[in-house]
Structure 1
Amino acid sequence: MKGWQAHRESVDRLRASYRAIPDGARVRLAKRTSNLFRPRVADGAPGLDVSGLDGVIAVDVDARTADVQGMCTYEDLVDAVLPFGLIPYVVPQLRTITLGGAVTGLGIESTSFRNGLPHESVLEMDVLTGSGDLVTATPEGEHADLFDAFPNSYGSLGYATRLRISLEAVPPYVALRHVGLDVGKATAAIEEICVGGAWDGVRVDGLDATAFTPDEVRLTLATFTDEPGPTSDYTGQDVYYRSVERLDHDRLTMHDYLWRWDTDWFWCSAAFGAQNRWVRRVWPRRWRRSDVYHRLVTLDTRLGLSRLLDRVKGVPGREKVIQDVEVPLERMPEFLAWFDAEVGMRPVWVCPLRTRRTWPTYPLTPGETYVNLGFWGTVEVPADAPPGFVNRRIEEHVHSLGGHKSLYSEAFYDEATFAGLYGVDVLDTVRRRYDPEARLSTLYDKAVGNS
């Protein structure tokens, strides 16, 4: 645990680094790592020192709450609270996602069908605003406007230094059922589970799915349990997503369930050979994790090795398609059919969610079931394809279905469309109060302009 004194000292360093930024210069984080997948235009200006804001401050086991610094990773947060039989209400799939990042940038996981998104279990947060003030925002009170607009603002309203969150009590094990259904029946099953919380008479605590082919969706139904028994290990030679196809029943520890997707970055580790059995035997277990693969992608982007191989293979062009989108559940079959025909990437991750209330910067209807559809990889494109050739078409189709896309990756919207989708009028009102000199980049500048 960091403790309160260490936290106050870290905040003091942060505020000193803010004062050191020249007047009129953009305020941004001095952060080396990121889970974003969009380019960023660096201006060389000094950034905010967040180096000491990466831990858990305190845990109140009786109240089931934790005070957590904004740059604390979910890996460290889980390590701090799971020994008490507690976890965050939503634990995003990748270990190095930070709590502040998940709240300001949205996060999702298999408990989102009953617990919503990570910001919905935040009780209060301290935010360093664009004007350099440190304010405590809560759902009600003086700074409720900042609290409401903060989710999906991606640092355009400020940076969370501390968040107090509610925690969920959990047992040590998770029993899994993998159920294969066609797309229509899977859609109906998801709605049944979201409404009733059970399938075939058994409680469902976690729900996600994997669309492996155009004809079958494999639902993964998780039931949290105290019952001891043998558990699988997907941090070794076995690969988790392959078990979803192969097994009807499985069992994991709670810890391994939370990080089941991280070891192989869902299925993306295959691009580095990490799923080849001979390579896997010599690939150190400590390097089988999403942040290592992310660094390899960054290295490849810088060195251009993939581009060289494509030239050797005669591939005319290639585009990264790394996106998570939300569409109303009833439009899922339509989207998957279109995606198969027009893009052709598989598998696709499916994660249902329901929000508890309206959030102006990511307007989903409370009580309505949506599905997050995640797809991550590359596709071949013509040599003369314009930038974002495939991604623009995905944006347009998601928009036509009444959906939204997450902004952690490249976006190509025009300003008017973007403003209508992401509550820019609310953001502008809040920015005028907390950042009157426009020291922070706008959400559009960050998400589309890559500033």
Structure 2
Amino acid sequence: MYKVEGIVYSKTMPENNRAFEAHAQRTKRVASQVRSFYDRKQPFRIFHGSTSSTRSQEQDRNKMISTSDFTEILKIDPEKGVAIVEPNVSMEKLVDATLPYGLVAPVIMEFKNITVGGGFSGTSGESSSFRHGVFDNIVNSIEIVLGDGDIVHASRTENSDLFHGAAGSFGTLGVVTKIEVQLVEAGNFMELEYRAISGGPEAVKTIEAYTADNNIQYLDGIMFSKTSGLIIAGRMASNPPLSRKISKYLSRSDPWFYVRAQEILNKKIPGSNGKSYTEYVPIKDYLFRFDRGAFWGGYYAFKYHFAPFNNLTRYLLDDLIHTKTMYTALHKSGLASEFIVQDIGFPYSTTPDFIDYLDDNFNLYPLWLCPLKLNSPYPLTPKGKHYQQDNQRVINIGVWGPGPRKRDDFIAANRAIEAKTKELDGLKCLYAHAYYTAPEFWDLYDKETYDSLREKYNATLLPSVFDKVTNNGPPPANTIFERLKNVRPVRGIYGALCVFWGGGLPFARVHQGLSIVLSPLLLLIFISAWTVSFGKDLLGLRNKRQGKAHVE
């Protein structure tokens, strides 16, 4: 290692390599900016350019370090089976770069625009995580700018406390600028076996059985009701049998994955006189099978706007229902403060209890089931009794759907979920809303170890993980505009217009023109919706209890 102007560089950095040289310049810029904040003792945050979080986002760019241009793949090394990338490389970009070599990262998150850095810092898991663990388990090393501007490398053998501490700390120990990711051999297709299950206990038993089968490489499930669901097991294949039809999920004309899964449960499996059904899917279609519609979040978007949910409307509105677009609209509209979005891991023994709790109190279906293997040291060092051993298997339950519209009721609903999570020794994924008080939060995690790392690596000017994950934004302003936006479906229309005019959609000019042409129709929808909403309130017809989501 050597130091120039307070910045530490590795002697092994490749020379005469434009990609690495450009990366070094970007890293030096960030290090210089961090050093400036450090010298002034001024708190700062990291701006990544995009987010897959539902939390409120900091807007003051003068108090932020931008890593939005750290988007390059620096090296693919097929012989070593690694990719060296910058943190804002998306999952789709990583997959597109590695598949030509016949390789893929062992864990790929299901949304195309989740980034490598987000996966490392945010404890992300996917259907292969029952084998490989969460995403930081497949990271070999990182380059990180510390809170005083020094650039260091960290791995399981070098600065190991920093490496393990940074994993899952949501960027609160430093600015990660480079990541080395493991790669494994990829097949051309995924052979998927859909197995029907009749409830939480059978789901757990089926997951345990598939886990014991070493041929299974991917595993997750969907509960469509308390007593009906699927466990979906996958193994890579070079080519499907000639007699098998190939199913695809990425194009406008393709079905949404969960809609297809329910069709298989309701029609294909009963017709096969068995409990399972097999299909073949191209590898990329499988990896990003939930990107269109954001699992089933897009279904709620259709219903919120009083729009029919069918093949034709999904085809026509395809540009608007990819995950990146939906996250943008969710934040612009403010609807993130009305939708329950939680991923929570539970020990196998308490998973059925939480499914029962959700059924009794929320009735939000479908639910996503994703088994995860957690390896110590666990991110943030949780204190629960199940996390005192070297390895722990949990089942992540994805709970996504409309919650109470009143802010106090919405917070109460989320806090009730948090309380039940603690009772059942679960662990929340902290990318979403969290409403813990400071004592409640640090009753779950090891504050002493976390704070000592922040002191050791000069990270105290960055927000703490508690401050960051509980940043749910201020109450909406009591203005006429905000009150109008609160009338369904005005918030959604406002969010969609922001997307249209943000320029991020394909053929942006065409979409902007359509937004002008369709404005009279949107106004008519608004007036009709307001009339219906006002009438329900006036006549006392509004349903007070959230019913089960109808999935078509």
In structure 2, the residue matched to 1:315 is: none
1:226 matched to 2:238? The reply is yes
1:419 matched to 2:419? The reply is no
CA gap of 1:84–1:193, structure 2 versus 1, over 3 A, is same
Structure 1 stretch displaced more, 274-283 or 255-264: 274-283
In structure 1, the residue matched to 2:536 is: none
For structure 1, list consecutive stretches of 5 or more residues without a partner in the other structure: 308-317
1:267 matched to 2:296? The reply is yes
Shift of 1:137: 0.6
1:98 matched to 2:115? The reply is yes
C-alpha distance in structure 2 between counterparts of 1:282 and 1:2, whole Å:
43
Q: 1:156, 1:442 within 8 Å by CA — same for their partners in 2?
A: yes
In structure 1, the residue matched to 2:313 is: 279
TM-score of the superposition, structure 2-length normalised? 0.73
Structure 1 stretch displaced more, 268-277 or 30-39: 268-277
1:439 matched to 2:461? The reply is yes
Q: 1:27 aligns with which of 4, 21, 44?
A: 44
Q: 1:7, 1:52 within 8 Å by CA — same for their partners in 2?
A: no
For structure 2, list consecutive stretches of 5 or more residues without a partner in the other structure: 1-16, 265-276, 474-552
Shift of 1:299: 2.6
In structure 1, the residue matched to 2:128 is: 111
Q: Which amino acid aligns with 1:76?
A: K
In structure 2, the residue matched to 1:357 is: 376
In structure 2, the residue matched to 1:334 is: 353
C-alpha distance in structure 2 between counterparts of 1:294 and 1:2, whole Å:
34
C-alpha distance in structure 1 between counterparts of 2:148 and 2:365, whole Å:
45
1:239 matched to 2:256? The reply is yes
In structure 1, the residue matched to 2:176 is: 160
In structure 1, the residue matched to 2:328 is: 295
In structure 1, the residue matched to 2:283 is: 254
C-alpha distance in structure 1 between counterparts of 2:184 and 2:446, whole Å:
30
Q: 1:397 aligns with which of 411, 415, 420?
A: 420
Q: 2:434, 2:472 within 8 Å by CA — same for their partners in 1?
A: no
Q: 1:197, 1:205 within 8 Å by CA — same for their partners in 2?
A: no
Could you list the per-position Cα deviations for residues 141-165 of structure 1 after superposition, in whole angstroms to 9, with x for gaps in the alignment? 3x11111111221111012101112
Shift of 1:269: 1.2
Q: Which amino acid aligns with 1:279?
A: T
Shift of 1:32: 3.2
C-alpha distance in structure 2 between counterparts of 1:296 and 1:350, whole Å:
26
C-alpha distance in structure 2 between counterparts of 1:344 and 1:282, whole Å:
30
Q: 2:34, 2:147 within 8 Å by CA — same for their partners in 1?
A: no
Structure 1 stretch displaced more, 10-19 or 214-223: 10-19
Q: 1:360, 1:423 within 8 Å by CA — same for their partners in 2?
A: no
| Structure of greater Rg | 2
Q: 2:95 aligns with which of 78, 87, 109?
A: 78
Could you list the per-position Cα deviations for residues 101-128 of structure 1 after superposition, in whole angstroms to 9, with x for gaps in the alignment? 1111111111000100110111111111
Correspondence list, 1:3-42, <5 A: 3-21=19-37, 23-42=40-59
Q: 2:68 aligns with which of 47, 51, 55?
A: 51
Q: Across the two proteins, how many residue pairs are aligned to each other? A: 428
1:344 matched to 2:378? The reply is no
Structure 1 stretch displaced more, 357-366 or 87-96: 357-366
Identity across the alignment (%):
25
C-alpha distance in structure 2 between counterparts of 1:372 and 1:408, whole Å:
14
Structure 1 stretch displaced more, 40-49 or 50-59: 40-49
In structure 2, the residue matched to 1:208 is: 220
Q: Which amino acid aligns with 2:438?
A: E
Q: 2:193 aligns with which of 154, 177, 181?
A: 177
Aligned partner of residue 64 in structure 2, secondary structure: coil
Could you list the per-position Cα deviations for residues 16-54 of structure 1 after superposition, in whole angstroms to 9, with x for gaps in the alignment? 333454712222123332111111354452421313311
In structure 1, the residue matched to 2:487 is: none
Q: 1:319, 1:388 within 8 Å by CA — same for their partners in 2?
A: no
C-alpha distance in structure 2 between counterparts of 1:171 and 1:278, whole Å:
33
In structure 2, the residue matched to 1:313 is: none
Q: 1:72, 1:99 within 8 Å by CA — same for their partners in 2?
A: yes
C-alpha distance in structure 1 between counterparts of 2:339 and 2:296, whole Å:
15
Correspondence list, 1:365-376, <5 A: 365-376=389-400
